[in-house]
Chain A
Amino acid sequence: MRLDKLLVLVFLGIFSPAGTPQDQDKLISGPGSTLTENKCKICHELQHIRRTPLSRGEWADNLKNMKERGTPMDDAEIAIILDYLAAYYGRDPAPPPSPDTLAAGGADPMQKLLNAHACTGCHTLAQRVVGPSFREIAAKYSSDATAPQRLAARIRAGGQGVWGQVPMPPNPGLSDADLKRLTGWVLEQK
């Protein structure tokens, strides 16, 4: 990208110089997601919601806390936001996929890549199964400039002891390009 074009994008707030493009800070699309985004983004990033699925009761407590802290929202809005958070960022049962996510579904190249290399046998997005969740991995490697190289090396060579004593097998059959895509995707799952 030419520098002058980059500067225009920075000026318009499309890319923030701090690193995270503002427009990437979103929630799963669903009934109430826009209202939830607009209220919560006044004071904090939406990753505070994305990273921790909670029960309906915990979300209700959370909303009460935020109301007390000064969030301008009335009871009707709180009810909509609570329904949305309980459905899409619930602890139990597992959140249903959003209609948008389903539409992207089977043809998703990243999902195919994960399946092809059996990553999903041990890892899921949010829950620790055999290995850590992709979110845990992304969080562990967050804010670290060497993370892509270190994580790529770990995926390539396999390992043991970082998360537990069940070894992760090496992945010699993964192409360099796919390894890079996979590493980048995992690091985005914060």
Chain B
Amino acid sequence: MEDRRPDQSRRSFLTRAAGAGALAAIGDALAQDKPAAAPAAPAGTIGNDAIKREKHAAMQYHSERPLTGSVPAHEHDFDVTPNDRMFVRNNLLNPDIDAAQHRLTVKGLVDKELSFSLDELKKAFPAVTLRGMLECAGAGRTNYLPAASGTPWSQTGGMGCPAWTGVRLAGLLKAAGLKSGAAHVAGQGGDPGMIATAAPVIRSVPLAKAMEENTLIAWDMNGAPLPKVHGYPLRLVVPGWVGSASTKWVTTLHVLDAPFKGAYMTSSYVMPKWPVEPGQKMPPDAVSTEAWPVKSMITFPAPNSRVKGSGRITVRGRAWVGEGSIDRVEISVDEGVTWQRARLASRGDRYAWRTFTFDYQPQRFGYMTFVARAWDDRGNAQPMVSAWNPLGYFWNGVHRVGVLVEA
């Protein structure tokens, strides 16, 4: 093979040596002059083991440094995503923050700089609870061909819809007083990097989105304090937009006259303004990713389930769109030749996903597929294949699940 791991012989040597005498293996390893293995959790951070202990067994992890993982679609069959099934995508290390010491500062183009402890924030503004989508910009990336660079999220990995409790970001901004020229708001996270030179994670959103009534500074997730991996004690929640807008462990809100300029704004989370030929590099006119396009997934049945041909099967799934609303969801049982409407649950919170169901009486035995396609209220539908882009963002192609119909 052109890319066989170069350490195969060494590994088999280690295996042999472990039986004959472990010291020989140790000497061999030391002779390789490796950089020391990273400590499990540097001071002020928590390790992956502690995070995973609070997560569901169905979580599939893609990488340890940084930690990324999510559950597959059929483990996502909930109207409200439970905390232990919410996807994990850290850019840097996971901080271990003392909530009593934590402060959130509002600064920049404001009349007066404000700073809140968690308790002060809870007292200063009315609390609201709402369900809202958070979805990594790269969710579904592995569907792109040729492969795009980044976390290898499966088609249905990297998103969830929990209930968030917090205060409206608009309330803080109004209290601080916006100066003329204020046009963007950036959240800065308190997550540290491996080295001192690591740039802080800072993403900005336009003022209109920051002032939108569903944009929150949240402290609870599904009625409990945010898990440490999801931003404890405070995070931004910018529902419907790329997950990176929802800064975790938020320490500072910068009110700016232009989008923040930094790696997480200009080199990551950007797309070509116009689609490029697959395999091309990012063109100079790249734009920051914002609201997710219309998308859906089938959460029941699980792929390759066995179903009885004698009874009806109720297909179930979730549909959502970053701005606007879901108009309808259609199901095809003939690979997209014809489409039938699924039943759509009534609309709940503005940025929550909506459950759809579709009753189907199998027409024959054997393998068959259900394909789901959602439409939004602006006439956009999920495509068969999303437009390729160098960083593999915004995959929203139709979701297809196969089952075996048996007697």
A residues apposed to B, CB below 8 Å: 1, 5, 8-9, 12-14, 16, 18, 20, 22-24, 26, 28-29, 38, 41-45, 47-48, 50-55, 57-58, 60-62, 64-65, 68-72, 91-92, 94-98, 100-101, 104, 108, 110-111, 125-126, 128, 136, 139-140, 142-144, 160-162, 188
Contact = CB atoms under 8 A, between A and B. Distances in A.
B2 A94 contact: yes
A47 B367 contact: no
Interface string B112-126: 000000000000000
B267 A70 contact: no
A8 B14 CA distance: 13
B181 interface: no
Contacts of B304: 161-162
Interface string B2-23: 1111111111001000110010
Contacts of A57: 280-281
Q: Which 7 A-B pairs have the closest CB atoms?
A: A57-B281, A13-B37, A68-B263, A65-B267, A5-B22, A70-B198, A70-B197
Given A20-B64, A68-B267, A9 B25 contact: yes
17 contacts: A8-B22, A13-B37, A22-B34, A23-B29, A26-B6, A26-B7, A43-B66, A50-B3, A52-B148, A53-B147, A70-B198, A94-B2, A98-B6, A100-B6, A104-B8, A125-B2, A144-B60
A95 B11 contact: no
A14 to B, nearest CB: 5
B61 interface: yes
A33 to B, nearest CB: 9
B203 to A, nearest CB: 13
A125 B1 contact: yes
Interface string B26-37: 100110101111
B111 interface: no
Interface of B: 1-11, 14, 18-19, 22, 25-26, 29-30, 32, 34-38, 48-49, 59-66, 69, 92, 142, 145-150, 152, 154, 193-195, 197-199, 262-264, 266-268, 279-282, 303-304, 367, 390, 402
A61 B65 contact: no
Which secondary structure dominates where chain B touches chain A? loop
Contacts of B199: 68-70
B2 A97 contact: yes
Contact of B279 (A50, A55, A71): A55
B81 to A, nearest CB: 19
A contact face: mostly helix, strand, loop, or mixed:
loop
Given A26-B7, A43-B195, A68-B263, A60 B281 contact: yes
- Output the residue of B25, B36, B149, B195 with the most chain A CB within 10 A: B149
B64 A101 contact: no
A174 B35 CA distance: 41
Given A12-B26, A14-B29, A143-B69, A23 B8 contact: no
Nearest to A24: B7
Contacts of A44: 63, 65-66
B61 A143 contact: yes
Contacts of A29: 6
B279 A92 contact: yes
Given A18-B48, A61-B267, A125 B3 contact: yes
A21 to B, nearest CB: 8
B65 to A, nearest CB: 5
A156 to B, nearest CB: 16
Contacts of B266: 68
Contacts of A20: 64
A72 B25 contact: no
Most chain A beta carbons < 10 A, residue from B22, B35, B38, B282:
B22
Given A57-B281, A61-B281, A94-B2, 5 more contacts: A5-B18, A52-B148, A70-B197, A70-B199, A143-B62
A97 B6 CA distance: 11
Nearest to B34: A23
Nearest to A10: B37
Nearest to A126: B3
B36 to A, nearest CB: 6
A69 B263 CA distance: 6
B2 A95 contact: yes
Most buried by B among A26, A48, A72, A143: A48
B198 A69 contact: yes
B347 to A, nearest CB: 35
Contacts of A5: 18, 22
